A and B are shown apart, each in its own frame.
Chain A
């Protein structure tokens, strides 16, 4: 059973990394979360690489022996499956005066934790697993809570961003999304 669940790149315990690297990467994620909470979506988007693959497969309820089918694959449907251009369109929508799902805007908070770091294939690349609790509150009394694991590939860049996100896979802890929409990002 377990070998089915653990058959992915993020399944083996990571080798220790330096405290400095751990701190540097955590700070990157904390800053990213702050940009989202501050609705500074244009700055947030600069943290995404031009090669970004931003993907949130759909999660289903499965019997134990079919656990490997719990998530849709890349040929399947998804909550997000964007490249840079698609994401850029979303950013323009979310920032526009007529994007009603975010005007008036949601109040968002991303709590990022459980930061696990694996050295990537290339120098300066890292695979990072983070756990995220996202609280979204909007209008008079709408409140949504999302919980997810994010599996990222990030790359060190030589500017003030520090890193950029090359891939993000968002594994939501919901099968039926208990919200009226997903008009923000994880």
Chain B
């Protein structure tokens, strides 16, 4: 089967072409995956319109009528808390002439009225009022057929996911073993997590996959060059930086279904550099026994897990930054980022957690500001015709790869500084673009832990 051309691009990719962009055997791949408009349009169709996309956290919508704007790929949606406490996600598009029906970031409303001609939808997305319905439509408009497109909605421990595709597997199956690692952040203590209010949004002129893959697989940049100055900013002046390096004790994990993560184990010193002393004490002492009891020592001892839930939801557990890499064409993304804290943590700890997140992993964060520098420079270089022809290298850690790791679920593993996860993320990406059903998804056994 060949994919139909989506743009007037001079190149039309066959399925075979797409699969050949990523060679997991040699660890070489083509940077065309970051630049092609045609591949980008395919991503919107084959990935974003049929996988589970995070659109927020339940604590952002505590009351009936609370809503926020979000995106599934480039499709704007409204996420609304219903009277029965369920959540609906529908396309932010009036069915009459396509105008945006919600034009703010968040709020509380009983109805969304299109500013163009006044069609009004209730909080469930039902078209309830049409101006001059008798005079203009002779009362013949079938209002029940003209609500905005609804997405499937499911939640996992507070995080809200939406999916346009009726045939996609349910969220639980889709996340699979990713839940095991997500729980290190979402389920450490009783009551779970809540959001620090406010989503920070900013723009990076780079393809969304740089960020998604880095959070899924790249501990190498943290342990080497990129973030030395970020570490420096988190320790007292004159500190011997060799004492606060990221550890080598950890894992690079390909979880399955495109999800991936990397773990740093048992390194509270590095923790301190990021979350600060008060939150380090909370995580490694005050709340540690409860975390061990709930999720087990293996996971309670993960001192930072960088993770990507395919396609575009990333976390850094510990500092608990959550972000959605919103695709904006092959050459640009918006980062939407918020912070989670344990709901039952003391208020002072919550604020300290948030402030350290602002300090480290935000648009102005001493770690994150350097990421923005790398990705946009790579993208800029890729404007070059010759630069686009150069294969990139993801062969790292081939020698440490194994298909099992005691205590940790996943499809394959490598040591901390590895690209086993990256290879599999991109292979999964190619499969998604070239397969119409979901038969290739991993069937995942039920989790044993956390019960």
- Do A and B interact with each other, yes or no? yes
* Chain A interfacial positions (CB closer than 8 Å to B): 57-58, 60-63, 66, 69, 72-82, 86, 88-90, 92-93, 96, 98-101, 139-140, 142, 175-183
Contact indicator A58/B198 (Cβ below 8 Å): yes
Q: With the chains together, A143 CA to B271 CA distance in Å?
A: 35
Contact indicator A180/B357 (Cβ below 8 Å): no
Contact indicator B200/A58 (Cβ below 8 Å): yes
Contact indicator B199/A180 (Cβ below 8 Å): no
Q: With the chains together, A80 CA to B109 CA distance in Å?
A: 30
Q: With the chains together, A57 CA to B354 CA distance in Å?
A: 12
Q: Which of B183-191, B230-238, B282-290 contacts A (4 or more CB under 8 A)?
A: B230-238
Ranked 7 nearest A-B pairs via Cβ: A77-B198, A89-B233, A182-B364, A99-B229, A180-B372, A177-B202, A181-B369
Asked whether A86 and B355 contact (CB < 8 A) given A182-B363, A183-B364, the answer is yes
A-B contacts, 24 of them at CB < 8 A, read: A61-B103, A61-B104, A63-B109, A66-B108, A69-B106, A75-B197, A75-B354, A76-B197, A76-B198, A77-B200, A78-B198, A78-B200, A82-B355, A88-B237, A89-B235, A100-B374, A101-B370, A177-B200, A179-B202, A180-B376, A181-B369, A182-B369, A183-B364, A183-B369
B201 CB, nearest partner CB in chain A, Å: 4
Residues of the A chain whose Cβ atoms lie less than 8 Å from the Cβ of B161? none
Contact of B107 among A66, A79, A177, A181 (CB under 8 A): A66
Residues of the A chain whose Cβ atoms lie less than 8 Å from the Cβ of B380? 140
Of A58, A80, A140, chain B has the most CB atoms within 10 Å of the CB of: A58
Contact indicator B334/A176 (Cβ below 8 Å): yes
Contact of B368 among A88, A89, A181 (CB under 8 A): A181
Contact indicator B357/A77 (Cβ below 8 Å): yes
Q: With the chains together, A70 CA to B206 CA distance in Å?
A: 29
B359 within 8 A of A: yes
B163 within 8 A of A: no
Contact indicator A176/B364 (Cβ below 8 Å): no
Asked whether A101 and B334 contact (CB < 8 A) given A90-B366, A176-B202, A179-B202, the answer is no
Of A82, A93, A96, A180, chain B has the most CB atoms within 10 Å of the CB of: A180
Residues of the A chain whose Cβ atoms lie less than 8 Å from the Cβ of B351? 74-75
How many Cβ-Cβ contacts under 8 Å join chain A to chain B?
A: 147
B345 CB, nearest partner CB in chain A, Å: 13
B209 CB, nearest partner CB in chain A, Å: 16
Residues of the A chain whose Cβ atoms lie less than 8 Å from the Cβ of B359? 81-82, 86, 89-90
A19 CB, nearest partner CB in chain B, Å: 37
Contact indicator A72/B202 (Cβ below 8 Å): no
B205 within 8 A of A: yes
Residues of the A chain whose Cβ atoms lie less than 8 Å from the Cβ of B225? 98
Contact of A78 among B104, B109, B358, B377 (CB under 8 A): B358
Residues of the B chain whose Cβ atoms lie less than 8 Å from the Cβ of A89? 232-235, 359, 366
B171 within 8 A of A: no
Residues of the A chain whose Cβ atoms lie less than 8 Å from the Cβ of B357? 77
Q: With the chains together, A77 CA to B363 CA distance in Å?
A: 12
Contact of A98 among B228, B364, B372 (CB under 8 A): B228
Residues of the B chain whose Cβ atoms lie less than 8 Å from the Cβ of A60? 104-106, 198
Question: Which B residue's beta carbon lies closest to that of A102?
Answer: B369
Which residues in window 353-385 of B have CB below 8 A to A? 354-355, 357-359, 362-364, 366, 368-370, 372-377, 380
Contact indicator B234/A99 (Cβ below 8 Å): no
A52 CB, nearest partner CB in chain B, Å: 13
Residues of the A chain whose Cβ atoms lie less than 8 Å from the Cβ of B375? 180
Residues of the B chain whose Cβ atoms lie less than 8 Å from the Cβ of A182? 363-364, 369
Q: With the chains together, A79 CA to B376 CA distance in Å?
A: 20
Contact indicator B354/A77 (Cβ below 8 Å): yes
B196 within 8 A of A: yes
Contact indicator A76/B106 (Cβ below 8 Å): no
Q: With the chains together, A182 CA to B359 CA distance in Å?
A: 11
Q: With the chains together, A66 CA to B67 CA distance in Å?
A: 13
